[in-house]
Structure 1
Amino acid sequence: MSTTERPRILVVGGGYVGLYAAKRIMKKMRYGEATVTVVDPRSYMTYQPFLPEVAAGSISPRHVVVPLRRVLPKAEVLTGRVTTIDQDRKVAVVTPLVGEAYELPFDYLVIALGAVSRTFPIPGLAEQGIGMKGVEEGIGLRNHVLEQLDKAESTTDENVRRKALTFVFVGGGFAGAETIGEVEDMARDAVKYYSTIKREDMRFILVDAADKILPEVGPKLGTWGKEHLESRGIEIYLNTSMDSCVDGHVVLKNGLEVDSNTLVWTAGVKPNPVLARYGLPLGPRGHVDAEPTLQVKGTDYIWTAGDNAQVPDMASRKAGVENAWCPPNAQHALRQAKVLGDNVISGMRGFPQKEYAHSNKGAVAGLGLHKGVAMIVMGKMKIKLKGRLAWYMHRGYHGMAMPTWNRKIRVFADWTLGMFLKREVVSLGALETPREEFYEAAKPAPAPAAAAAPAQKAKAS
């Protein structure tokens, strides 16, 4: 970390908003005008809409992450967490991955921490659940599912086999529906290489407390998506929640009980709880309360955007929708980040702030290879697509939204190779414990029993 007399713009969080806001600020800033410092526990940004395809093996995990230091070569990138903020002194406390915490002064502040999985105190959830917020979880889910097929193929115990081949997904929004669609697609391909497992032996279950899935694309496409998944043998239970999942025994409110080694939790997100320690004004659900200019209410030197922010949806409000707020999706995060970056520069130079207003352009979702739904908004007209064409729209939109041309090209290359080569179905579960085999080989051997016998015999004589 360098020390400088220049003003410091501190960006807390290196996700979608943090990366794009910092990039925009660096682009608009004059040489030497300020120092941009980005703090995040990871040294990379993850493009979360592609995590279901990572779990299915359609995209290499390395290609959905963007290294912060490479994209922001002129910024300071600190790998750690901002634990507290003293607004009176304009000082943040940074806790690095190793070593002691230290204070970091700033002049301007950007809060871009994003969201974490929204969970409930359900018995067994912490021990059994697999989230889908990070690339590590996407890799882990893929390896885990393929390991279950290995277990089922190798056992003669029918109960062990049934538990291994039952997969439960909780949450029917984009993350849940896309993940179960992609994973079922992958498992369907994988079992072609197993002599004792067929698709009919596997059981996929999707549970949601709401009365529909994929609410983001509207009721008609949501209904089509439900019917499509059911036609592939996926059981869907709506208006249903989970009571417990201790030791993999899943109990649902509707009375259904199943044993499963796989529980994927995608039941929504909530703002990062560390926000409560920053002394910022928060909304009723824990979001940072923001003005239409993306400035935090009551301040003129702090900005926020993305999943951790409560931003008024000015386009909807102008259309007559009262109390409308921007939903937490990549579409808004990208556009908010650019406005935020411009407003930080304007604030530094004493210029007026610009309000953020963006009309919804629609939503797209992939449900496996060549399957998807899409709703495209063009003015007052809504175009609804399903099937292969919607899947092309999904890949096209997110492929172009992926940050940096380096990553765009790599993602499109993965997709192109996938058209000609069969999907990889190898499990690399040892990635979770890479040192285990070496430890077994290198640990001290116990003293042989035979070596102790002569010594005892000599002592007796």
Structure 2
Amino acid sequence: MERPRILVVGGGFAGVECARRLERQLAPIEAEIALIAPFSYELYLPLLPQVAAGVLTPQSVAVSLRRMLRRTRIIPGGAVGVDPKAKMVILRKITDELAAEPYDYLVLAPGSVTRTFDIPGLVEHARGMKTLAEAAYVRDHVISQLDLADAATSQQERISRLQFVVVGGGYAGTETAACLQRVTASAIRRYPRLNPNLIKWHLVDIAPKLMPELGEKLGDDAMEILRKRGIEISLGVSVAEVGDESVKLTDGRVIPSRTLIWTAGVAASPLVNTLDAETVRGRLAVTAEMRVPQFENMFALGDAAAVPDLAKGDGAVCPPTAQHAQRQGKVVADNVIALIRGHEMKPYFHKDLGLVVDLGGADAVSKPLGIEMQGIAAQGVARGYHLMALRTNVAKVRVMTNWLLNATAGDDFVRTGFQSRRPARLRDFEYTDSYLTKEQIRDYTAELEARK
């Protein structure tokens, strides 16, 4: 009897946790497990701002898939289309060739991409913080602005190069602004010709509160910490237009700046649009067991799925966080196994463990199990949580070593130049234009069928 094929799409928190659980709970003779991932690592996204800041090396947050997964077949590529009728996933291999992968059970965990809006100049000038390449680019870019400002012959150019705008008052935006502000504040000592007062960081968000999930007190504490460092926080406004040398806000202000880091939320992977399935705010609508009801043996979870939040009720869906993604991965794995073995599936229900926000140095705010903390204690909780969440001992040691080295030796503020000749638009780093249309998917699967 042929073993059923379980295909997991996505090498992020949700997909990897699902594959790990499947390996542990299923005997090799029960099923064949495969995972489609464009990179050979799971990116530990919560620490990406520290990569951009040079606190951590890129390898520290790139957790090896082959260390975590022992018998899962890892397929190097990205899923660009799904044909549920043919039970086939179309993928674009890292060689850019198209290929098809059949499945009996499909787990969709393709994650998300940076959410953008129809703002003039945004897609041409915005820099994201969603991938390892984007973090490396942002670090090089920020340091290059200091270098270029130091060499500038006009004050106007110098001012525009030393003002930085971060859009998004959530965790990603707040931590990015906080970590990179520390970089420029430390680096300026190496530039004796530059006036430190010219360096300005702006954190902009349309919401009335910074990180509202933290609660009013901790959110206000975080704002106070950032403002004391000189970061200007503008709430209730957004970006109206982006140019080569300026960012115009919706309140009419024009900030002379050549750096816009865009972290204003995420949108489900474009893979969702290749399916004729119901969506909720762009995410696949799924049951409490995370099944996609329109299709047989298909599950979806993580950022790409609107998973009902049974703890909150009233139609709420789980937010796109790493904490939810990892837990959902385990439940989906259990439900796939239940389906294979003819057992009853279980719904996803979670208990919130709390939130941690690392603002760099000794600054942090945390809310573990509802207990509000700030300062050194909050920093200890934040870093302890990250170490616990990293899935290999090698990754834990690398991160701890990097933290210790940065705390004792500091940073050399070196530009690597790895990304200097590469287009830096969001779509270039996040491959949002790589996906197939429904018609292209049908044509491709029909062509495969004709070849048989």
TM-score normalised over the length of structure 2: 0.90
Secondary structure of the residue that 2:371 maps to in structure 1? strand
Q: Find the partner of 1:362 among 354, 362, 373.
A: 354
> Which range moves more in the overlay, 304-313 or 197-206?
197-206
Q: Find the partner of 1:415 among 391, 398, 403.
A: 403
Tell me the residue number matched to 1:119: 116
| Matched AA of 1:334 | Q
Which has the bigger relative contact order, CA under 8 A and spacing at least 6?
2
The alpha carbon displacement at 1:358 in A equals 0.8
Secondary structure of the residue that 2:30 maps to in structure 1? coil
Residues 28-73 of structure 1: CA distance to partner in whole angstroms, max 9, x if unpaired?
1112221111112223221110011111111111110123234223
The alpha carbon displacement at 1:88 in A equals 2.2
Residues 356-397 of structure 1: CA distance to partner in whole angstroms, max 9, x if unpaired?
1112121110112110111122xxxx3111122212211111
Residues 431 and 266 (structure 1), Cα distance of their counterparts in 2 relative to 1, 3 Å cut = closer
The answer to whether structure 1 residue 301 and structure 2 residue 300 are counterparts is no
Matches within 5 A, 1:48-197: 48-98=45-95, 100-197=97-194
Matches within 5 A, 1:254-293: 254-283=251-280, 285-293=281-289
CA contact (8 A) 2:68 2:391 kept: no
Tell me the residue number matched to 2:435: none
Secondary structure of the residue that 1:316 maps to in structure 2? coil
Q: Find the partner of 1:314 among 304, 310, 313.
A: 310
CA contact (8 A) 2:18 2:332 kept: yes
**Fraction of identical pairs, as percent:** 39
| Matched AA of 2:402 | D
| Matched AA of 1:102 | A
CA contact (8 A) 2:136 2:419 kept: no
Tell me the residue number matched to 2:341: 349
How far apart in 1 are the matches of 2:39 and 2:277?
24
The alpha carbon displacement at 1:299 in A equals 4.4
The alpha carbon displacement at 1:412 in A equals 1.2
CA contact (8 A) 1:41 1:81 kept: yes
Tell me the residue number matched to 2:432: none
| Matched AA of 2:285 | D
Secondary structure of the residue that 1:139 maps to in structure 2? helix
How far apart in 2 are the matches of 1:125 and 1:217?
29
The RMSD of aligned alpha carbons is 1.7
How far apart in 1 are the matches of 2:223 and 2:415?
29
Secondary structure of the residue that 1:188 maps to in structure 2? helix
How far apart in 2 are the matches of 1:279 and 1:405?
41
| Matched AA of 2:354 | G
Secondary structure of the residue that 2:288 maps to in structure 1? coil
Secondary structure of the residue that 2:92 maps to in structure 1? strand
The alpha carbon displacement at 1:143 in A equals 1.0
The alpha carbon displacement at 1:254 in A equals 1.0
Secondary structure of the residue that 1:383 maps to in structure 2? coil
Residues 432 and 32 (structure 1), Cα distance of their counterparts in 2 relative to 1, 3 Å cut = farther
The alpha carbon displacement at 1:431 in A equals 4.5
How far apart in 2 are the matches of 1:67 and 1:430?
21
| Matched AA of 1:303 | F
CA contact (8 A) 1:250 1:258 kept: yes
| Matched AA of 2:152 | T
How far apart in 2 are the matches of 1:149 and 1:70?
39
Tell me the residue number matched to 1:450: none
Residues 95-123 of structure 1: CA distance to partner in whole angstroms, max 9, x if unpaired?
22326423322100000011111101111
Tell me the residue number matched to 1:432: 420
Q: Find the partner of 2:372 among 374, 384, 391.
A: 384
Q: Find the partner of 2:36 among 24, 34, 39.
A: 39
Secondary structure of the residue that 1:328 maps to in structure 2? coil
Residues 8-43 of structure 1: CA distance to partner in whole angstroms, max 9, x if unpaired?
111111111111111110111112221111112223
| Matched AA of 1:369 | G
Secondary structure of the residue that 2:380 maps to in structure 1? helix
TM-score normalised over the length of structure 1: 0.88
The alpha carbon displacement at 1:198 in A equals 4.1
Residues 308-363 of structure 1: CA distance to partner in whole angstroms, max 9, x if unpaired?
1111111223xxxx222211111111111111111111111111111111121211
| Matched AA of 1:259 | P
Q: Which runs of 5+ in 1 are unaligned?
A: 435-461
